[in-house]
Structure 1
Amino acid sequence: MGLNEAPLLFNFEVESSEDLTYIPMAVRFNLDRFGLRVSLAQWQMLPYEDRKLLARFPVEDDTAIEPNFDHALFEMLRTHANVEPEWFTPEETPAWRRVDAVPDGVVHQADLASLHAPSADQWARLDPFKRYVLAKLSRKLESNHDFVPAMKEFGLAG
C-alpha cells in the first residue's frame, strides 16, 4: 500500500488544522498504532512538506501494510528538531475497534453536544478510521469543538 496522493484530511479538519499547523487525525492514527507520541511543538518544527508527507500515509489498521511511517517520522524529527518521538505501548483492543458497542466517551460527547449518540448499528457500519476519529475526539470529559462537525461529516448528525 503506497502513500495517498494528497494529505488525508476530513472537511472538519481543513479549517481547524490551519494548513497542517495542528496534527491531523491521519497522523494521530498512525502515531497511535505505532505507539509514538510527538508534541505539538515538535510537530510544528517539521517543515510543511514533511508534515504533508506524514499526512499522506495510509490509515489501515495493520502496521505491516505501511511500516515506514515510524522511520520517516524519526528521521524528520532528528533532522529538523534534534529529538525523537516518545514511545508507548498501544492498546491491544481500543474501544474504536469494537463494533458491538459505542464507546462511553462517544456517548458522553454526543450528550454534551445535545446530539443522539450513534446507534450500535450505525457505529458498526462506520469505517474503522471514522470510529477511531470519533473515539479520539471523545477521550476527554469536556466538549471537543471538532466532535459535532465530525458527526455531521460522517452522516451521524443533521
Structure 2
Amino acid sequence: MGLHETPLLFDFELVSSEDLTFMPMSVRFNLDRFGLRISLAQWQLLPHADRALLARFPVDEDAQIEPNFDHALFEMMRTHANLEPDWFTPDAEPAWRNAAAVPDGLLRHCHTAGLAAPNAEVWARLDPFKRYVLTKLSRKPEASHDFLPAMREFGLVG
C-alpha cells in the first residue's frame, strides 16, 4: 500500500490539524507503532510539506506494509531540526488492539461525559484505527476536546 493522496484527517481534526500545526491522529498512530516520540515543538519545526507527507502514510497495523515512515521522519528531523526522535518500545498488546474489551479509559471518559459506552460488540466492529484514536483520546484523566466529536464521527453518539 502506498501513500494516500492527501493527509489523513478525520472531520473532528479539521479545525485543529488541517493546517498541520498539530499532529494528526494518523501521525500519532505511526509514531506509536514504530516506537517513536517527537514533541509538538519538534513537529512544528518541520516544513509544512514534510508534515503533510508524514500525514499521508498508511495507518495499517502491519508495520511491514509501509516501513518508510520512520526513515522519512528521521531524515526530516535531521535535516530541518538537527534532532532525532526519541525511541521507546511499543506496547506489544495495546488496549485498542483488543477487539473483545472496551478499554477502561474509554469507559471512564464515556461516564464522565454522560455518554453510553460502546459495548464489546460495537467496539469489535470499529475499524482498528478508530479504536486506536478513541483509546488515545481517552488515555489521560482529563477529557480531550476531541473525544465527543470523535465519538460522534464514529457513529457512537447520536
Aligned to 1:108: 108
Structure 2: unaligned runs, 5 residues or longer: none
Q: CA RMSD in A?
A: 0.6
Question: 1:157 Cα deviation (Å)?
Answer: 0.3
TM-score for both structures, normalised by structure 2: 0.99
Which one-letter code corresponds to 2:8 in the other structure? Answer: L
Distance 1:15 1:50 in 2: 20
Moved over 6 A (4+): none
Equivalences for residues 60-139 of structure 1 within 5 A: 60-139=60-139
Distance 1:102 1:60 in 2: 20
Count of residue pairs the alignment pairs up: 158
CA contact (8 A) 2:96 2:103 kept: yes
The farther-off stretch of 109-118 and 25-34 is: 109-118
Aligned to 1:37: 37
| Deviation sequence 1:48-81 (CA, Å, 0-9, x none) | 0000000000000011100000000000000000
Aligned to 1:140: 140
Structure 1: unaligned runs, 5 residues or longer: none
TM-score for both structures, normalised by structure 1: 0.99
Question: 1:17 Cα deviation (Å)?
Answer: 1.6
CA contact (8 A) 2:106 2:134 kept: yes
| Deviation sequence 1:5-59 (CA, Å, 0-9, x none) | 1000000001022511001000000000000000000000000000000000000
Which one-letter code corresponds to 2:113 in the other structure? Answer: A
